[in-house]
Amino acid sequence: MNKTICNTIPVKAFLKNGKISPRKAVLVVDLIRGKKVEDAKRILEISKKKASFILLKLLKSAISNGINNFKCEYKSLIISKIWVGNGRFLKRTEPRSRGSANRLLKRYSNIWLYLEGVKNG
């Protein structure tokens, strides 16, 4: 058997300042954490949430990183770690009564995704 680098080094993909709030992204991230790549891809394709579209692009990027850079097999990849953090935010104002204004924060998120190759057998 050929020993691949994939079994020792995790495959990484990052999304910086994705245009979705971390609170909404965590709902979809929790669905795919710890799953095989094939299963996670199916879950994200079926889901109707905006975060699932963003995460699907990130997952495809991580898969291609693993296959092209680390010579991993597609079937052996699993999502070992994935988490969401706060990114930048835009400050906006919303007019209120009597000439006052409220501050709105348009939140962005950072998403980290790590894949690992699992040895068959």
Strands (DSSP E) contained in the chain are: 11-18, 77-95, 101-117
Q: Give pLDDT tens digits for 26-58.
A: 999 999 999 999 999 999 999 999 999 999 999
Fold type of domain 10-117: Ribosomal Protein L22; Chain A (3.90.470)
Alpha-carbon distance of 10 to 61, in angstroms, equals: 14
Contacts for 11 with CB less than 8 Å, ≥ 6 apart: 62, 65, 66, 69, 70, 72, 77, 114, 115, 116, 117
Q: What is the mean pLDDT of the chain?
A: 93
Residue 70 contacts residue 54 (beta carbons within 8 Å): no
pTM, two decimal places: 0.89
